[in-house]
Structure 1
Amino acid sequence: MNEYIDLIEHAMHVLNDFLSTPTGLRALVFGLVLSWLGTQLIKFAPTIQQLADRDNRLGVRAIAFAIGFITVLALWPAPWAPRIGLACIVGLASPLIYKVLVLGAYHFAPWLEPKLSGKPGEPTHDPEL
């Protein structure tokens, strides 16, 4: 049982070190932003747009994971174990964080949606929310 507590304490120290160093924060931000930018560029490629909606989402999420994972893995200033773990978290969380930010922006500024949406004219959210 003590080894699990030690592991949790170690994870908390790694997280604390990350939050207190600008380099770690930069790696996280670069990972998220590059993931979002890369998926936006690739999402509008003609071959991706021709895929079915489900396949399109899976492909874009896989690309977001790969870009976020590789960016954080390259920039994170820590040993390999925490670096790989955080790279996985950033890669997996990137599409969700993007979706939450976009829905918030569309809720508070609905005029943005037709200008930013990949499929103008098709609402991506319920305006009642």
Structure 2
Amino acid sequence: MTVAGLGFPLRLDARGRMTVVAGGAAIESSLAVLFGTVAGERVMRPDFGVRPDWTEQELPDRMRELIAAHEPRIDVAGLELGDLAQRWGTPRLGWAAVRVEYVVKATGERGLFEGRFEWAR
């Protein structure tokens, strides 16, 4: 069974309806929302998202934990972060280029998610 959901960013199709995504696109949309959210932004889910107070050294392990907790459809095969040193230690801003290689648990299908994210403190 393929699960479908709203895509991110939210878009309208030609008929004015919200676009729906499924499969790898749904997983990648979910990861974009997860990594694009600062922990605490969602009142009912305060642990959802990235905490800018995580250190540069702990960030990869913490992001793996986030994926395990909030995206149960996949196993992480690889996670790389880039551009961390440029601003990560500043008091107001953290940012990183994120690359996640994953395997869909139900099908064994491999996927790749890439994005760049900024988190204000």
Do both share a fold (TM > 0.5)?
no
Structure having greater relative contact order (Cα 8 Å, sep ≥ 6): 1
Give the TM-score normalised by the residue count of structure 1.
Answer: 0.30
Computing the radius of gyration from Cα coordinates, the structure with the larger value is 1
Hey, which of these two has a bigger chunk of helix by percent? 1
Give the TM-score normalised by the residue count of structure 2.
Answer: 0.31
